[in-house]
C-alpha cells in the first residue's frame, strides 16, 4: 500500500485525501489587524477539520496572479501563530510557502508538510527539508505569480511539466528526501492558459504513469473553471467538485480545495459507486 510519510503522520493513500485551504491573508472586508487575521484563520481551520479535511494547508502569501509581495517577516508572523495553535488538533498541517525562512520557522513549529509552488528551488530549501521528516509537495509553474499569466508558452505542456517534475523529484531524492515523503503537482493556473490546463488535466493519468510519484491537484475555484462555466470566483463550487472528482478518477493522491464538506461528500459517493 502507498503511504505518505508526513511529519508526525503516516498517511495511507488508498483513497484521495482532501487538503483544506486556510488563508492567513488580510481580508478586504475588515481591517482588524493581525490578531483578527489569525483568529479568523483558526476558526476557519477548525471548521474545515470538522468538515472532514485530511490535511490543513496554511498559507500567508497570496499567489493569485498579480497579488502583492509579502515579506519573509510578515509571512512568518501570519502563519506561525496559526500552525502553533493548530498543533494540538490531531491533523497533518501543511505550510504553503516558497520562502526557505518561512519553511524553517514552520518546521520548527512542527509542520508536517511543506507545500512549495517553487518546488524547493530557493537557496537552502532542499537541504532544510532533508534535515526534517516533513512531506514535500513540488509544484510546476512557469514565470512568477506577478507575471505568470501574461504569456504562458509551451511546445508540449505535458512533456515539459513532466520533465520539470522529474528533475525536481530527482533533486529532492539526491538531497536525501525519501520518495515516501514526496508529492508532485502540475500547478494548474500557474503560467498556463485554458488550453494548457486542459491538456495537463487530460494528461494526469500519463503524468502519474511516467513519474510513479503521488500527485497533489489544486483546481479549486481557479480561473480555468471560470472560463469553462462563466461563473465568478465565489460561484465555482460545483465546477470545483466536478474537477475534484475527475482528478480523483485520474488517480490523484491529494486534492487541495476550499469547499471541504462538499468535496468530501462527493468523493464518498464517487468511491461507493465506483
Ligand atoms: C496548487 O495548485 N494553488 S494558491 C486563484 C483562484 C483560486 C485559487 C482565481 N497553492 C496551488 O489556490 N499549492 C495555490 O481564483 C497551491 N497546488 C499547490 N500545491 C492559488 C489558488 C487560487 C488561485
What is the Å distance from ligand 1's center to 64 Cα? 7
Give pLDDT < 50 ranges for the chain.
Answer: none
Grid cell 483578527 is found at 36
Does the Cβ of 106 fall within 6 Å of ligand 1?
A: no
The pLDDT tens digits for 241-253 are: 999 999 999 999 9
Return the exposure string of 38-64: e unless at least 16 CB atoms fall within 10 Å of the residue's CB, then b: bebbbebbbebbebebbbbbbbbbebe
- Kindly report the CATH class assigned to 16-267: alpha beta
Decide: 256 in ligand 1 pocket, CB within 6 A. yes
Identify whether 256 is a catalytic site residue: yes
The C-alpha atoms of residue 124 and residue 107 are separated, in whole angstroms, by 14
| Residues facing residue 135 across a β-bridge | 113
Q: How far is CA 210 from the centre of its chain?
A: 21
For ligand 1, say whether the CB of 197 is within 6 Å of any of its atoms: no
The angle subtended at Cα 156 by Cα 240 and Cα 227, nearest 5°, is 30
Predicted local distance difference test score (pLDDT) of residue 28: 55
Predicted local distance difference test score (pLDDT) of residue 120 = 98
Rounded to the nearest whole angstrom, what is the distance from the C-alpha of residue 267 to the centroid of ligand 1?
20
- What order do you get walking across the sheet with 254-257 strand by strand? 182-185, 135-139, 113-116, 93-96, 55-59, 17-23, 254-257, 216-218
Active-site choice (256, 261, 268, 271):
256
Q: From the CB of 92, is ligand 1 less than 6 Å away? A: no
Among the listed residues 141, 181, 222, 236, the single catalytic one is: 222
Give the domain ranges of the chain: 16-267
**Ligand 1 in reach of 61 Cβ (< 6 A):** no
State pLDDT tens for residues 158-184.
999 999 999 999 999 999 999 999 999
pLDDT at 140: 98
* 47 noted as active-site residue: no
Task: Decide if 254 contacts 214 (C-beta within 8 A).
Answer: yes
Q: What is the pLDDT of residue 31?
A: 65
Amino acid at each position: 500500500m502507498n503511504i505518505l510519510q508526513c511529519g508526525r503522520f503516516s498517511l495511507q493513500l488508498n483513497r484521495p485525501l482532501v487538503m483544506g485551504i486556510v488563508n492567513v491573508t488580510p481580508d478586504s472586508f475588515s481591517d482588524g489587524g493581525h490578531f483578527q487575521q489569525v483568529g479568523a484563520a483558526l476558526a476557519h481551520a477548525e471548521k474545515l477539520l470538522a468538515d472532514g479535511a485530511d490535511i490543513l494547508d496554511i498559507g500567508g502569501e497570496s499567489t493569485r496572479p498579480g497579488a502583492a509581495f509579502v515579506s519573509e517577516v510578515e509571512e512568518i508572523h501570519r502563519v506561525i501563530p496559526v500552525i502553533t495553535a493548530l498543533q494540538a488538533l490531531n491533523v497533518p498541517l501543511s505550510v504553503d510557502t516558497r520562502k526557505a525562512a518561512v519553511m524553517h520557522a514552520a518546521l520548527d513549529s512542527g509542520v508536517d508538510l511543506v507545500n512549495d509552488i517553487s518546488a524547493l528551488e530557493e537557496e537552502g530549501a532542499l537541504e532544510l527539508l532533508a534535515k526534517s521528516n516533513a512531506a514535500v509537495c513540488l509544484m510546476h509553474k512557469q514565470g512568477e505569480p506577478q507575471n505568470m499569466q501574461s504569456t504562458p508558452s509551451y511546445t508540449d505542456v505535458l512533456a515539459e511539466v513532466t520533465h520539470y517534475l522529474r528533475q525536481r523529484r530527482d533533486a529532492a531524492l539526491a538531497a536525501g528526501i525519501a520518495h515516501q515523503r514526496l508529492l508532485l503537482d502540475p500547478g494548474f493556473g500557474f503560467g498556463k492558459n485554458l488550453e494548457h490546463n486542459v491538456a495537463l488535466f487530460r494528461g494526469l493519468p500519463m503524468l502519474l504513469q511516467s513519474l510513479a510519484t503521488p500527485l497533489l491537484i489544486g483546481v479549486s475555484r481557479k480561473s480555468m473553471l471560470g472560463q469553462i462555466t462563466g461563473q465568478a470566483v465565489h460561484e465555482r463550487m460545483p465546477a470545483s467538485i466536478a474537477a475534484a472528482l475527475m482528478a480523483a478518477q485520474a488517480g490523484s493522491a491529494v486534492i487541495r480545495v476550499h469547499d471541504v464538506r462538499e468535496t468530501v461528500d462527493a468523493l464518498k459517493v464517487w468511491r461507493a459507486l465506483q
